[in-house]
Structure 1
Amino acid sequence: MNDQAYGDDNNHEPGYSTIDENISSSATAFHEPQDVHRLVQMFQGVVDDMPSDFDSLMQNKPDWIDPEKLKRGQQFALEHYFGVSFSKILSLYILFALSHNGLDTLIYTRMSDTPYKAYRRYYATSDIIKSWMETDILTPETKGNKNMRRVFQMHQKVHEDLLQNPIIDGQMEPRCTILGKPWYTATLANLKKDFKCISPAPTEINSLLERQKTVFNQCYLTTTQFGFFGLAIVYPEWFGIHDYSRQDMEDFVHLWRTIGYLMGIKDEYNFGRGTLDEVKERSKWLIRVLVIPKFREITEKWEHMSRCAAEGVRMYMKKSLSFESSFCYLCDILGLKSTNVKKTIGFRKYIYLWWLRFFMKYLLKWNLFNLRKRLNRYIFKSMKTAAEELNNENIQIKLLNKFIKYEQTAAV
């Protein structure tokens, strides 16, 4: 990491306002014509499918890929692994809300529609992403590159399946159940009350979405790419990411720009393209004009899959937050009103949210007792334990039985 200090709760880049000034205040604002124009440009990608050949991507890598910058980006991600991982978990709620078709596709795969399935899926995803941080993703036959190919081929398979068997409206609701019942609670109604003042997304977007042939198009891929690093670069202090230089953050973005390319994202759609200032501005813009408005449209399917994800992650990351706590924290980050939900979470969880904010913004900034390294070690140890448990049939039977009881309770 470079010596020049760049990350600070009280320091903001020239031209950027604080969260309250720049994003949350626009939750009820009218969308400017230039916002609509940029969204329309971005959503042109719904008719531009992902490429079909991973080998071609490997053989024709663009000149902008810098192996040294990539390595430094990997090192930064590993040094801040706890915060980066936490940001990705919260980003799931955003990605589930951004695209109804994307959410339907996730349900279609039937890999994370119950807590037990989500536990296996999101551990596997975490392990894959960790390999992208630890090994050379540009060299064939490394663990990271093999996993890159594996994910690309998995996307391609689902893409081809959906072309042959497209999802019909209403088809996914019956699949989005636990023991035959959808898993949603009074939390959803309270969230809808809290979010009713949010202005809707521009109507032009709906007509563009109707043109998409399948979910694995350039637009979907780039918004998913945003989910892996967008929150971390816009709100680093909320995830305990401090004491970094500008170059550190540029390298981190370059890492995800490169991963985006290897996932089949064309340069004109790649969310990591341009300077750091441009990427941060693009991220803030997307949050303001699309992410926040999309929370106005959350559904029972959204809550079901979000709860499954949160509970699944908690099975291998024991100290991970509950759905209510983690989503309330996301609302605080985005400056979204969540008064009605917070009234229902209980006094202990409400106080814990304030403690968590203090912990992330200040204790990790001071890094007392090497907190950052200790938290990183906790994540790595949890993943190692999960890997051992996944290969132990007896433990899996116990976990599955535990989940069955849990799911029976959730379905009541």
Structure 2
Amino acid sequence: MDYPEWYSEKKYNQGRRFYWDNCFSLTSSMLLGLVAVFAVPSILRVLISSRRSSSQYTAYRRYLSTLLHTVSWFENDLKPGSISWRSIYTVRCRHARADVAAKMKGIGSVSQRDMALTQFGFIGFSILKPDKFSIRPMQSDDWESYVHFWRVIGSMIGLQDRYNICRKNYQETRQVCQLLLERVFTPSLDHVPEYFEHMARVMLEGMWSVNPTVNTSALLYWTRHLADVPGYVYTEKERADFQDKLREQLKGKSEDIGVDSTVFTSRPAIEGINERPPRLLYLRDYDTIETIPEYKNLPFAAKYKLAVSSILYAFYSTYIGKLYLNLNFLFSLLLMKYFPYLAFFRFGIKASLVNIFVEDPVDNTEPKPNAEYNKPPPELPWYRATLSVLSW
């Protein structure tokens, strides 16, 4: 493993600094990006076959390890023998082992394409929707440097330059991310593959053990919203605009006729998408936010946390807000590393402490089909509903 020939230490370190300037929002965007990556059928198959993230405990260990690996790249200089260097080498080796295991089981491989799509999870939403997270560069070339950082990481993990979605400049990278969103992630999240709900939910519920503000239903809705999945709107302007689009598709026909969601998405660029019954959208359902089926079915706690998140990101656009929430993230990161107290109660002290250089555990938990999660949720007792709101 070596530096790519185009590596610039100055730009790489400026990209690291840009992350710490916006660490709260950039980390949040990565979590939502990871949810989106689960919707890619070939990636999901490999994750399920690994048996390392199908339960809340194994998902907690795997994705906390992923977060700590990622943070270590920003914390440490990229020098041979450093923690950052060892971490990248460890991740590269794990990808190689997962590739061999997937091929032996006959379920595919860890392909260059899938590694590139996973790279989108780390950088895609922050590049395409920075205003949603109130991400602001301090210097004119911060975005260029941040892209360079992830271009280096992708290359050193084993991604060939031709597949690396982080290009030589920010504008080209943004264009690539927009294409991937339109041709892969929007259609994938519109019609998710089987077991997506299980794998995404156990990941989010596992991460609740280190971040009790995580609300599974809210984050699944927000991920689809960021991915421009038809019907997943949040503001009044988005609702009115989408209702106009539905009206255009109906062309004067009865409002009782549903519009197939796929008419608003591009033709998928990967296999395994849209192999399900159409999802019909009705004009009358978009008269108000509260009548939108996807939003109406959210628990009150999820609606509350979506509102609080919007307020927090608006607060983050201020100097005091950015300072406070970044410090809050740094304190949370300290707890994740050395004292994940909620995980202690759920999984035990020894089982909760994560060493990023030790392989994640496996178990034989069978993922549940999506239909199990599409049933109406049972009504929570009043005390649990209250606690779910107060966890902010």
TM-score (normalizing by structure 1): 0.66
User: Contact 1:250/1:276 (CA < 8 Å) preserved in 2?
Assistant: yes
- Larger RCO (CA within 8 A; separation ≥ 6): 1
Distance 1:62 1:385, change over 3 A: closer
Name 1:49's counterpart in structure 2.
none
Partner of 1:333: 226
C-alpha distance after superposition, 1:210-254 (max 9, x if no partner): xxxx42121111111111111111112222322533311111111
The answer as to whether partners of 1:234 and 1:284 remain within 8 angstroms in 2 is yes
Instruction: Give, as a single letter, the amino acid of the residue that structure 2 aligns with 1:81.
Output: C
CA gap of 1:110–1:247, structure 2 versus 1, over 3 A, is same
What residue is the counterpart of 1:94 in the other structure? 36
Pair 1:299–1:143, CA change in 2 (3 A): same
Q: Partners of 1:257 and 1:153 in 2: how far apart?
A: 19
Aligned residue identity for 2:22: H
Q: Aligned match of 1:381 in 302, 317, 334?
A: 334
Q: What is the CA-CA distance between 1:164 and the residue it aligns to?
A: 2.6
Change (3 A) 1:354 1:388: closer
The verdict on how the C-alpha distance between 1:162 and 1:389 changes in structure 2, with shifts beyond 3 A counting, is same
Tell me which of 258, 261, 272 is aligned to 2:166: 272
- Distance in 1 (alpha carbons) for counterparts of 2:34 and 2:96: 21
> Distance in 2 between the 1:378 and 1:326 partners?
22
Contact kept, 8 Å, 1:242 with 1:364, in 2: the verdict is no
Does residue 150 in structure 1 map to residue 90 in structure 2? yes
2:190 aligns with one of 296, 303, 309? 296
2:156 equivalent among 246, 249, 262: 262
* Aligned counterparts of 2:325 and 2:202: Cα–Cα separation in 1: 28
Q: Judging changes above 3 Å, is the alpha-carbon distance between structure 1 residues 386 and 230 closer, same or farther for their aligned structure 2 residues? A: farther
Identity %: 24
Match of 2:25 among 69, 79, 83: 83
Closer, same or farther: CA 349–263 of 1 in aligned 2, 3 Å: same
* 2:262 matched residue in structure 1: none
With 290-299 and 260-269 compared, the bigger mean Cα shift is at 290-299
State the Cα distance separating 1:315 from its structure 2 match.
0.7
For residue 140 of structure 2, what is the amino acid of its counterpart?
R
TM-score by length of 2: 0.69
How many residues align? The count is 297
Structure 1 equivalent of residue 49 of structure 2: 108
Match of 1:249 in 2: 143
The counterpart of 2:64, out of the listed 116, 120, 123, is: 123
The answer to whether the 8 Å contact 2:18/2:137 transfers is: no
Q: Report if the CA contact (8 A) 1:317-1:382 is conserved.
A: no
Q: Secondary structure at the match of 1:282?
A: helix
Deviation at 1:62, TM superposition (A): 3.2
- Structure 2 residue 21 is matched with structure 1 residue 69: no
Report whether the alignment pairs 1:324 with 2:217: yes
Structure 1 stretches of 5 or more lacking a match?
A: 1-54, 168-213, 400-406
Q: After superposition, what is the alpha-carbon deviation per residue over 1:118-168, rounded to whole angstroms, capped at 9, x for unaligned?
A: 11111111111111111122x22110110111111111111122233323x
Deviation at 1:82, TM superposition (A): 1.4
Give distance in 2, aligned partners of 1:316 and 1:248.
Answer: 30
Q: Aligned in 2, Cα 1:149/1:344: closer, same or farther, shift over 3 Å? A: same
Query: Aligned with 1:97: secondary structure?
Result: coil
Question: Out of 229, 246, 260, which is 2:123 matched to?
Answer: 229
Q: Which residue of 1 aligns with 2:288?
A: none
Cα separation, 1, equivalents of 2:69 and 2:39: 24
How big is the shift at 1:293? Answer: 1.1
SS in 1 for 2:159: coil
Contact 1:105 1:215 in 2 (8 A): yes
In the aligned structure 2, how far is the partner of 1:219 from the partner of 1:154?
17
In 1: Cα distance, 2:133 partner to 2:330 partner: 16
Cα drift, residue 372 of structure 1: 3.4
* 1:354-403 Cα deviation digits (max 9, x unpaired): 3322321x21111335323323323323323446888999535799xxxx
Return structure 1 stretches of 4+ with deviation > 6 angstroms.
387-393
Cα deviation, 1:65-107, whole Å, max 9, x if unaligned, reads: 1011101111111222211111111112211112x12111101
